Amino acid sequence: MAMDSGAPRESFRLSMLLYDSRYRSLTIQIFAFFVLMFGAAWLVYNTKTNLEALGKPFGFDFLWATSGYDIAQRPIEYSSTSTHARAAVVGLLNTLILAVMACATATVLGVAAGVLRLSNNWIISKLMTIYIETFRNVPVLIWIIVVSAVMSESMPAPSAFRGDDPAASMILFDSMAFTNRGVYVPGPLFATDLGAMFGMSDLGTGLNWLLIIAVLAVAFVINKAMLANATKVQNATGTRPVTWWKSLALFLVPLIVVLVALGFHLEYPELRGFNFSGGIQMRNSLLAMWIGLSIYTAAFIAEIVRAGILAISKGQTEAAFALGLQPNRTMRLVILPQALRVIVPPLISQFLNITKNTSLGLAVGYMDLRSTLGGITINQTGRELEGMLLMMLIYLAISLIISTVMNMYNNRVKLKER
Amino acid sequence: MSDTHAQTVPYVRETMLPQQEPPSSQVGAVKWMRENLFNGAISTVLTLLSLAAILFFGYELLPWLANSVWNASSLSECRQILDGATGACWAVIRVNWLQLMFGFYPPELYWRPILAFVMLAVAVAPVLFPSAPRQLLGFSVVYPFIAVWLLWGGPIWGVTVAAMGFVLGYVALRALTSRGLLIQTIAAVAVALIWWLFLAGPVADVLSSALPLAIEPVPSREFGGFMISVVIGVAGIALSLPLGILFALGRQSTMPIIKWISVTFIEFIRGVPLITLLFTASLLLNYFLPPGTNFDLILRVIIMVTLFATAYMAEVIRGGLAALPRGQYEAADALGLDYWKAQRLIIMPQALKISIPGIVNTFIGLFKDTTLVVFIGILDPIGRASAIRATSDWQGVYWELFIFIGAVFWVFCFGMSRYSMHLERRLKTDHR
């Protein structure tokens, strides 16, 4: 039996493209597509004509030319004879270092401020309210510049540390020095360099760190297995074996063995001539960016954490108390897992904001991706188009990676709804 | 009976005791402090730490504020007056505050931005407060053109023909009511574009030669200070909300091409820092436009800031749309409303209400982000502050300048966030 829809089939008329909702969406889309293509073609044509008029070919070969400029903070080997591409990588690493540091401190500060604002201690909750409202209503650029100005204008010069009766002195058993050129802290050094031993000296001490990370990772896996076993024993017998000292030993003993074997020691900053040398110099630019971004974003994270905790109804706490759970267990087992569901998504966007705001490094001369690839390289080579394009794509890639990773985490903590 | 009683019970109180005061630890300030400041060991430690912090800041700040110097022409003069004591040198604000407000705008024309801002207050009043007279909404519509004319000056015909484009588009929209919304929209946009691209220029020229009604023009490079922040901020706020709604709808659309255009736009803009967009506006726009085109830097910045805020706004509004129960969409369909009627009458009023906090947060973020224009050479307050700090008179001054600038931003942003809370309360219709 043939299926018949009943209604007579209307023959197609041109006006149906506009008035029939079956075809209208198609018309709109094709129209939008053509407008978009026309616009894109227009832009590309203009760009091409303009580039030809200026006599600039389009290409990325400028990346392999000698950069000719220095970068103060370089996590990998770099000099002014290196290529622009390497300068861009240095800038990218600086961006990432700053982003990771700022995300970590902002989270710690933000969680602390958010929890304290909810505390039933009147004075601390009021202080935290003042902190949050002050910091999130003033542009982050102002905070960065203020921190930078304070560091460079009110800290003593390295020369103040000289002489028998110095005007300034190092703190924490002569291990740290706050100067107007930055903060000097002890740096880790190894007596044995695995990289040199295996003929991969261009990795620096990378191989040593890799070994340490590997040892810790193995310890982590064994620890997890041990804890799982403890749970199994607990389920079978009702008593949980004591594990804390085993865990501690599992992490500490191999680590100490490896560190001693590699000859790990700290190098302290020392005043030599007019400046400090040795250790790690944390430049003003890095500190200003780090502190500025952290305290600003922490104010936002504090509000996110507070909203997350407030979103959990009081009944949950009361139910946990009724079950006989202690306050800290109530927090850990009942409130926090539920609050995390509310907290994590906006927290992700704060991490993205921090990463994007690292591009403000320009204000204090922090050599991030924007200042190397998008700044000096562009100025020196005159390749604005390619440089900006590459930089935007890199930022886009970082953002997408962060949001993907954090979304995976979010999928793990979120309530499994069916 | 009373005897036995007296023997078994040695003493029975026969009168009621007067009510006693509660113990001193359970009343007044002591009780409050026990409950709010010293309830537990951690709390006590926190209280003591807070007190120490407050005392420290008070000890550092109060003399600094108390010894404020308001009249001096340079930092060295300030220090002379202070004579070794610690003190704030607010004179730097007093000397430079006109520059911090207006940049290099010609001093004899300050009345124009001031008038524009006073009129801004009148124009936004009907939008913000339902108690303001509704007739003012007409003024809100024409205000942008008046403001542009007042701020940039020049012949009045420039903004008039620009406004005419909107009027003509609207006329086309009304004239074709019977032909359906799609035709109407296309015709309105086409008419307006043709007017702006081909007719507006000659007409403006003819009109200005026929009737030269002009005030002194002020080029964009003379704009600066808080004026520029407010101009960019207000323009960005006014433009990003409608565009954001469009992109949010586009992202929710069932039409794949429209959806992918919206998603690509939103995700690209949200993935890159604003500063790269601003540099694109200042460095690259000349590549993308036909040779010889050159348009105003402030206009470019406004476009970029608007696009940036639009992407965030679209996501905020999409959140509101997603939070709306499906039943609302279905009810609108069941009533037979078409797409735009359903959006206008059912969906948007509720979705926008849900997303008020996010929308206002985006506005606040946009206003704070106007400080980034300093990187492309626009002398906003931070740019002015850096210039002031670079002069020999005021070298070494920073707290006073940044406290002043920060305080102004704080007032604007805090005001916006309080207004959003007020709006949420006003529009609250559920009974929770």
Give chain B's length: 432
How far apart CA A402 and CA B323 sit, in angstroms, is 25
- Cα–Cα nearest to B357, from B324, B322, B323, B316: B316
| More confident of the two residues A206 and B401 | B401
Alpha carbon distance B112, B118 (integer Å): 10
Of A133, A139, A395, the CB nearest to B272: A395
Spans of all domains in chain A: 59-156+289-418
The pLDDT of residue B314: 93
What's the pLDDT at A151? 85
Strand-strand pairing, A264-267 and A270-272? unpaired
Inter-chain contact A138–B410, Cβ cutoff 8 Å? yes
The answer to whether A67 and A80 are in contact (CB under 8 A) is: yes
Cite the DSSP H helix spans in A8-121: 16-19, 21-54, 84-117
Q: What is the band of B156 on the pLDDT scale with cuts at 50, 70, 90? A: confident
Do residues B184 and B340 make contact, with C-beta atoms less than 8 angstroms apart? no
Nearest-by-CA chain B residue for A300: B361
HSE-CB for B19 with a 13 A CA cutoff: 2
Per-residue pLDDT reduced to its tens digit, A387-408: 899 999 999 999 999 888 877 8
Burial call B92-107: b when 16+ CB within 10 Å, e when fewer? bbebbeebbbbbebee
Nearest to A207 by CA among A197, A221, A195: A195
CB A360, CB A289: distance < 8 Å? yes
Reported as a pLDDT band with limits 50, 70 and 90, residue A1 is: very low
Residue A121 sits at φ, ψ, to 5 deg, of -80, 115
List the single best residue of B34, B38, B50, B226 to mutate versus A (max A Cβ within 10 A): B50
Could you identify the residue written with the tokens 């973020």?
A: B365
Output the pLDDT for position B306: 94
3-class secondary structure for A244-290?
A: HHHHHHHHHHHHHHHHHHHCEEEECCEEECCEEECCEEECHHHHHHH
Q: Which chain B residue lies closest to A363 (C-alpha atoms)?
A: B375
Neighbouring-strand partners of residue B193: none
User: Which residue would you say has higher pLDDT here, A181 or B171?
Assistant: B171
Q: How far apart are CA A77 and CA A68, in angstroms?
A: 14
- Distance between CA atoms of residues B202 and B389, nearest Å: 47
First to last CA, chain A: 41
Which architecture, in CATH terms, is A59-156+289-418? Orthogonal Bundle (1.10)
Write down how long chain A is: 418
ipTM for the predicted complex: 0.87
Tokens 């009724």, located at residue: A322
User: With an 8 Å Cβ cutoff, are A388 and B414 in contact?
Assistant: no
pLDDT one-digit tens code per residue, A30-57: 888 999 999 999 989 988 888 888 888 8
* Alpha carbon of B386: minimum distance to chain A alpha carbons (Å): 10
Residue B226 belongs to what H/E stretch? helix B225-252
Most distant pair of Cα atoms in chain B: their distance:
124
pLDDT of residue B118: 93
Of the listed ranges A151-160, B66-75, B419-428, the one predicted with least confidence: A151-160
Share of chain B above pLDDT 70, in %: 97
**Is there a contact between A396 and B268 if contact means CB atoms under 8 Å apart?**
yes
The partner residue sitting opposite A124, judged by closest CB among B50, B180, B364, is B50
Pair type for strands A264-267 and A187-190: antiparallel
Task: Sort out which chain B residues have CB atoms less than 8 A from A378's CB and list them.
Answer: 283
Nearest chain B residue to A122 by CA distance is B36
Task: Supply the Cα-derived Rg of chain B in whole angstroms.
Answer: 31
In whole angstroms, what is the distance from residue A416 CA to residue A112 CA? 28
> Residue B41: closest CA among chain A residues belongs to which residue?
A121
Please indicate whether, in this complex, the C-beta atoms of A138 and B290 are within 8 angstroms of each other: no
Hey, are the CB atoms on B272 and A356 less than 8 Å from each other? yes
Chain B nearest C-alpha distance from A303 (Å): 12
Cβ pair A29:B279 closer than 8 A: no
Helix (H) / strand (E) containing A190: strand A187-190
How many Å lie between the alpha carbon of A150 and the closest alpha carbon of chain B? 8
CB burial of A114-131 (b: ≥16 within 10 Å; e: otherwise) equals bebbebebbbbbebbeeb
Cα–Cα distance list, B245 to A132, A148, B262 (Å): 30, 39, 11
